[in-house]
């Protein structure tokens, strides 16, 4: 089968640090190639895979609207010229990219990793269209866009083979927070939990440059970083995430928003590290209660879960995570959707 994967420019595929969908596009490309399919990636500069890569646009998340229009026109020209060369077009970028092939017989999957604009869905499904399936990364995320069209839940994935299981950690092993240091991610709550339980907390993630979140970090988080109990490591690459997640007894995920998926949860599971999360967004779908972690509703419940974390079998945590979220499993789910059309 001939597969085209599309990703917005802004971050290369695969990403050097953070970039959830960019990482997914690369994983699926490599798995499809391993299965014998021909793969082309349409993505930003410096992208690569074992198949063909067609670069376009610029790697700048703050690029102008004019630049984004140029990128849209590039994709339109490419699809108009090459649509007969593919059996499946799988779009992780803007929905409007698919306009030239919307009513073409080529099979199409449009995948979302964040809350969906229902206005765009209603408009596109009101146009003549064929062989189009919408997917999102959780039942919660599907619910934000399922106003028209054919929708399926397909969870996000990671390559579990790149993470090392740590079957046991010491009782005084640290807790970990990993993610962007925005208020909605809840690092302030993670610090409060660690101080209450007496555990060391290691924090990995990038500092946001939006004015409100930068002030949040400087005034509420940075003053509590002492380098002993509360340690900030900065942004982490895959090797560092593997190392620090593996040596932690739990990942704290005290989100204050409805997270569409949260791949850091599966990265923790791949190391055998259970996740303690607030009951928001996709967290209740991703975590198997009492097996790969605990779902809690309050800070007090999270503190209690930390104290009970030794009840989690780390090998079982990884096993159930791998069965549900490994790239080999999820890529086959997408291929099954192709075969169903």
Percent residues over pLDDT 70 in the chain: 100
257 and 152 in one domain? no
Given a cut of 90, is residue 224 above it in pLDDT?
yes
Instruction: Identify the three-state secondary structure at position 16.
Output: coil
Q: Can you give the pLDDT at residue 229?
A: 98
3 band by pLDDT with thresholds 50, 70 and 90: very high
Residue with the two structure tokens 């988080």: 221
In this structure, the answer to whether residues 30 and 119 fall within a common structural domain is yes
| Per-residue pLDDT tens over the stretch 79-108 | 999 999 999 999 999 999 999 999 999 999
- Report the range of poorest mean pLDDT among 12-26, 39-53, 236-250: 12-26
**Same domain flag for 148 and 194:** no
pLDDT band with cut points at 50, 70 and 90 for residue 209: confident
The answer to whether the beta carbons of residues 188 and 294 sit under 8 Å apart is no
Q: What's the pLDDT at 18?
A: 72
Q: Are residues 130 and 267 in the same domain?
A: no
Mean pLDDT of the chain: 96
Residue 287 token pair = 């975590």
Q: Would you place residue 303 in the very low, low, confident or very high pLDDT band (cuts 50, 70, 90)?
A: very high
The pLDDT of 174-195, averaged and rounded, is 97
Strand partners, 112: 136
Phi, psi of 131 (to 5 degrees): 55, 45
Residue 181 near residue 208, CB atoms below 8 Å:
yes
Q: What is the pLDDT of residue 6?
A: 98
| Total domains, the chain | 2
Q: State the distance between the two ends of the chain, measured CA to CA, in whole angstroms.
A: 14
* 173 and 68 assigned to the same domain: no
CA dist 27 and 5 (Å) reads: 11
The CATH number of residue 108's host domain is: 3.40.50.2000
Q: What's the pTM?
A: 0.92
- Do 152 and 202 fall within a single domain? no
Same domain for 81 and 127, yes or no, is yes
Closest CA to 262 of 290, 295, 217, 239: 295
Do residues 104 and 179 both lie within one domain?
Answer: no
pLDDT tier at 21 (50, 70, 90 boundaries)? confident
Please tell me the predicted confidence (pLDDT) of residue 17: 72
Burial class (CB in 10 A: 0-12, 13-18, 19+), 1: middle
The stretch 227-244 carries a mean pLDDT of 94
Contact assessment for residue 84 and residue 101, using Cβ atoms and an 8 Å cutoff: no
Residues 90 and 177 in one domain: no
pLDDT of residue 98: 98
Do 39 and 90 sit in the same domain of this protein? yes
One domain for residues 142 and 167: no
pLDDT at 11 exceeding the cut of 80: yes
Residues 174 and 265 in one domain: yes
Q: Which domain holds residue 253?
A: 161-323
Please answer whether residues 200 and 174 qualify as being in contact, where contact means their C-beta atoms are separated by less than 8 angstroms: yes
């Amino acid at each position: 089968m001939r597969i085209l994967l599309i990703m917005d420019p802004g971050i290369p595929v695969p990403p050097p640090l953070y970039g959830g969908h960019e990482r997914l596009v690369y994983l699926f490309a490599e798995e499809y190639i391993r299965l014998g399919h021909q793969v082309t990636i349409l993505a930003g500069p410096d992208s690569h895979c074992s198949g063909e890569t067609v670069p376009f646009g610029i790697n700048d998340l703050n690029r102008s609207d004019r630049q984004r229009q140029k990128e849209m026109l590039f994709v339109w020209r490419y699809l108009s010229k090459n649509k007969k060369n593919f059996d499946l077009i799988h779009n992780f970028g803007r929905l409007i990219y698919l306009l030239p092939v919307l009513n073409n017989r080529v099979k199409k999957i449009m995948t979302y990793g964040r809350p969906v604009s229902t206005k765009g869905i209603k408009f596109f499904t009101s146009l003549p269209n064929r062989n189009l399936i919408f997917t999102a990364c959780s039942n919660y995320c599907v619910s934000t866009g399922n106003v028209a069209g054919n929708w399926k839940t397909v969870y996000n994935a990671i390559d579990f083979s790149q993470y090392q299981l740590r079957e046991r950690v010491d009782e005084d092993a640290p807790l970990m927070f990993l993610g962007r240091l925005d208020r909605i991610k809840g690092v302030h709550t993670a610090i409060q939990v660690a101080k209450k339980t007496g555990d060391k907390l290691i924090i990995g993630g990038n500092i946001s440059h939006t004015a409100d979140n930068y002030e949040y970090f400087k005034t509420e988080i940075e003053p509590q970083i002492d380098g002993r109990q509360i340690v900030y490591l900065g942004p982490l690459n895959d090797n560092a995430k593997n190392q620090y997640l593996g040596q932690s007894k739990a990942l704290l995920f005290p989100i204050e928003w409805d997270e569409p998926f949260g791949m850091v949860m599966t990265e923790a599971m791949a190391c055998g590290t259970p996740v303690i999360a607030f009951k928001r967004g996709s967290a209740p779908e991703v975590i198997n209660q009492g097996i790969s972690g605990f779902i809690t509703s309050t800070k007090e419940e999270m503190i209690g879960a930390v104290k009970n974390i030794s009840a989690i079998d780390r090998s079982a945590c990884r096993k159930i995570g791998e069965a549900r979220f490994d790239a080999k499993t999820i890529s086959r789910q997408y291929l099954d959707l192709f075969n169903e059309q």
